[in-house]
Structure 1
Amino acid sequence: MSSLPKAGEFLGHPKGLFLLFGTEMWERFGYYGMRAILVLYLVAMTKDGGFGWSNADALSLYGTFTMAVYLTPLFGGWLADNVLGQRKAIIIGGILMALGHFIMGIPHSAVAGMQENVFYLGLALLCLGNGLFKPNISTMVGDLYNEGDKRRDGAFTIFYMGINIGGALGPLVAGYVAAVVNWQAGFIAAGVGMVISVIMQMLLSKKYLGDIGVVPAAKLSQAQSATGTKEPLTRIEKDRIKVIFTMSVFSIIFWMGFEQAGGLMNLFANDYTDRMLMGFEIPASWFQSLNSLFIIIFAPLVAMIWLKLDKREPNSPVKFAMALVFLALGFLTMMLALITEGSGEGSLQISMMWLVLFYLFHTLGELCLSPIGLSMVSKLAPLRLASLLMGIWFLCTAIANKIAGFVGSFLGEGQEAMNNAMSIFIGLGATALISAAAMYMLSDRLVEWMHGAEGNHEPHTQEHILAEELEISATKQ
């Protein structure tokens, strides 16, 4: 492991955690701001500055793009582990993403006849940059702590808060700018957030991160081995990798349903939801902020529940099963919305409160899965494979995103969309429940394969829990 920086601590954690927190927050501001308006931009009429695509075409591209966003970390993780080091990978990736946002913000009139080609170039740069950025910043969070440090889970919860502060602000800002100026201005607003992220990392990383992420992890692992050569995986390492693969596969089911948010549910909010509030029509893109806002509100509560349960706290596989149950409840909510408000004639406009409940249930599911998953990979992965296995985690998210776009593309248009939406909600909800049952039945075997790395059954100290809660609250997410 790289030597830990001597920059001191803040709220019981290395100050480097809060640099990574800020770097990730602004990167997510850019990504989620762009994501909130992407599908709406694609289906908007050309006279309104969009491309005028069908729902099916827009959702299909959305699925392909988001798949690529999470697929490229597999390559980016390997490149950082073996060539660049995590620090350089993050900076290069951030620069590429900023360029992607700004290219998408070029006015159509400036690239007449080449609008779609320029748009695809911007998307490609976002995908490549994300591949270098995403797995490596997550791995660096784990590298701030020595093996066995009980603060690690709390650190990932704080880090995840940074993701969701950016995720809450990005859609609000980019969505508002797109509504009052134009779509291209919304993409530029997203790019500004990415520039801030890169500047933070370039100016502050040496002081607060020490040499963490400078030397490629594979070279560092080789230097630390007794022989100076690559050693074969031990039985314990193989078992732990099996856990990572198994839980990553189950995460596909969760993200397949969860990622309907940026596609199908974005169109649902735009076309089939009553968004009027005291004479003001809420932009459809703003609903994309609900997930992040709910995480900010409920993450401390969920952490406190784990505290109260103490030795009865569920292990990580059981938490995954709980996440899938919450996912199913979200789709059940939308089924009820269509049953109770979708029987009338004419254009359907359901209450926006149904969408609020939908995002609430899915947020609770995310809190049971995503930060736990990131921490799990960090704890179980051998050092020389850390970024690569973090890339595997995001690879499964990539597969889920493509499936999500494929499923969402069956929405269709007009009144037909309501019948199709009901079928989609039923199918995704049932799949989630079946997967939850399977994960629960596998939980004991998976904990056994962790060989003691699963710390949920170890007693928590009051000092650790209170510090974790204060840290989460103090960041004010």
Structure 2
Amino acid sequence: MSHNNSGTLLGHPKGLFLLFGTELWERFSYYAMRAILVLYLTDKTIDGGLGWTTQEALSLYGIYTGLVYFTPLIGGWIADNFLGQRRSIIIGGVLMAIGQFTLALPHSVVDPHAVKAFYVGLTFLIIGNGLFKPNISTMVGDLYEEGDNRRDGAFTIFYMGINIGSLLAGVIAGTASAVYGWKAGFLCAGFGMLFSLLIQLFFAQRYLGNIGTVPAAVRDAAKNASGKKEPLTKVERDRLKVIMVMCTFVIVFWAGFEQAGGLMNIYSQEYTNRMIGSFEVPAAWFQSLNPFFIIICAPILASLWVKMGKKEPNSPVKFALAMFSLALGFACMIGAALEQGGDMTVKTSMLWLIGAYFFHTIGELCLSPIGLSMVTKLAPLRLASLMMGAWFGANAIANYIAGEIGSRIGEAGPLAIFSGIAITAVIAGVLLLLLSNTLINWMHGAESSNDDEHVEVKTAEA
């Protein structure tokens, strides 16, 4: 791997901030569209949506977000073997921009081509995302030599980019949709994607040099003359077992968490009193609470882990804390449902939603960055991409399940769904605590501070 010496900023290669900007605007584009997708589908007014039922909209939302997390498996493989990361990002970005602008095409509710155009737009977004998502994060890792202790900090900075993009998205697309109609929201998403592409096209060569230009398989073949594959050792097999067990719990967590874009989005639109004085808060703004809380809480939590030193909980215990936080978030939603008392005409306090998003965010911070780091510690180097793919695969399953759960709102009612998720999360958390010692044994010291060098974070393909 050859690095471009374009100097540093805040102690990191300038290329990190180029990738930060590229990802910020791509995530803006994704979350802008996600914030209004379900609201657009279910809107029955003259000027706007497709007039679908809540069940149809949430079902499609689950399939869409599931595919968004599944296609990076294929996109990562294509980049590794054929295109290289840089080319994959550009092609993926162009496809996503086409997708967003297709969604923004004007139509009338009676237009028979409206739904066709909508599906074409989503298809472009799914394929483009598959090429873009796995490769931008891999390039962050490629900026650093193996064993460089700045890498964790780099991913924290990168994670902030994702969340700044996400924070801006709900507010800007939500406001544009409320004032000018849904198509304006999709148009904002399209422009966000264009910004991302332009940053990459104009500055990549200068700040990244040749990082990401040569496919990983070609680089690997050049390094490995013998080409022999060694069988997995017992330690490696045990560590892979830990990843697979943790993936199962990840599915439970994200299936609950991902109600944010679907069921909780509809709840904020239909059943929440969003008035502050004479101003009505647009429902899509609530989508910005999660990134807002992440930007505030991530540094606090990161410094807390450092302060705890040897008392810092291990990954399985942090995952259990994530489950309990998810349950607390849904306890807030149970409070909202109880305030309604079965009367769907009653509007509930927005404080319930704010509380739910806060606890969900704390849960995300105990699980998402910890999980990515854990996979890179445990996966054998030659299977690192595959295991990261499996991690995203767990997200794909979870998103599909989330859509299915949300679409049952009509039959089961909000109270049953919120309670069901909260109880499941608590059971999962208790199970993790019971399993934690076994899982730590299977890690064979990967989480202890005096690891062998080959155990330390090898790659970071978030």
TM over 0.5: yes
After TM superposition, the structure 1 = structure 2 runs for residues 177-196 of structure 1, keeping only pairs within 5 Å, are: 177-196=176-195
Q: How far did 1:345 drift?
A: 5.3
Q: Structure 1 201/449 Cα, relative in aligned 2: closer, same or farther at 3 Å?
A: farther
SS in 2 for 1:88: helix
- Structure 2 residue 140 is the aligned partner of structure 1 residue 147: no
TM-score w.r.t. length of structure 2: 0.92
SS in 2 for 1:259: helix
Q: Structure 1 132/430 Cα, relative in aligned 2: closer, same or farther at 3 Å?
A: same
Moved over 6 A (4+): none
Identity of aligned residues (%): 60
Q: How far did 1:221 drift?
A: 2.1
After TM superposition, the structure 1 = structure 2 runs for residues 26-425 of structure 1, keeping only pairs within 5 Å, are: 26-109=25-108, 112-339=111-338, 341-343=339-341, 347-412=345-410, 420-425=413-418
Q: Which moved more, 1:248-257 or 1:30-39?
A: 248-257
Q: Which moved more, 1:177-186 or 1:220-229?
A: 220-229
SS in 2 for 1:32: helix
For 1:222 and 1:371, the matched residues in 2 are separated by 31
Task: Name the Cα RMSD after superposition.
Answer: 2.1
Q: Structure 1 265/227 Cα, relative in aligned 2: closer, same or farther at 3 Å?
A: same
Q: Which moved more, 1:392-401 or 1:203-212?
A: 203-212
SS in 2 for 1:285: helix
Equivalent residues of 1:156, 1:374 under 8 A apart = no
Equivalent residues of 1:81, 1:384 under 8 A apart = no
Q: Structure 1 195/420 Cα, relative in aligned 2: closer, same or farther at 3 Å?
A: same
Q: Structure 1 232/10 Cα, relative in aligned 2: closer, same or farther at 3 Å?
A: farther
Q: How far did 1:380 drift?
A: 3.5
For 1:148 and 1:223, the matched residues in 2 are separated by 22
The AA in structure 2 aligned to 1:263 is G
Q: Which moved more, 1:207-216 or 1:306-315?
A: 207-216
For 2:367 and 2:274, the matched residues in 1 are separated by 30
Counterpart of 1:443 in structure 2 is 436
Q: How far did 1:384 drift?
A: 4.1
The AA in structure 2 aligned to 1:88 is R
For 1:456 and 1:409, the matched residues in 2 are separated by 45
SS in 1 for 2:75: helix
The AA in structure 2 aligned to 1:7 is S
For 2:343 and 2:203, the matched residues in 1 are separated by 59
Q: Structure 1 59/90 Cα, relative in aligned 2: closer, same or farther at 3 Å?
A: same
SS in 1 for 2:260: coil
Deviations 1:6-60 (A, max 9, x none): 2222222222222221111111100000000000000001513111111101100
Q: Which moved more, 1:130-139 or 1:257-266?
A: 130-139
Deviations 1:171-228 (A, max 9, x none): 1111111111111111010111111111112222222223322222223223222414
Q: How far did 1:336 drift?
A: 2.1
For 1:29 and 1:240, the matched residues in 2 are separated by 35
Equivalent residues of 2:271, 2:344 under 8 A apart = no
Q: Which ranges in structure 1 are unaligned for 5 or more consecutive residues?
A: 459-477
For 2:31 and 2:134, the matched residues in 1 are separated by 17
Counterpart of 1:454 in structure 2 is 447
Q: Structure 1 342/110 Cα, relative in aligned 2: closer, same or farther at 3 Å?
A: closer
The aligned length equals 451
Q: Structure 1 228/72 Cα, relative in aligned 2: closer, same or farther at 3 Å?
A: same
Q: Structure 1 109/74 Cα, relative in aligned 2: closer, same or farther at 3 Å?
A: same
Q: Which moved more, 1:187-196 or 1:446-455?
A: 446-455
Q: Which ranges in structure 2 are unaligned for 5 or more consecutive residues?
A: 452-462
The AA in structure 1 aligned to 2:392 is F
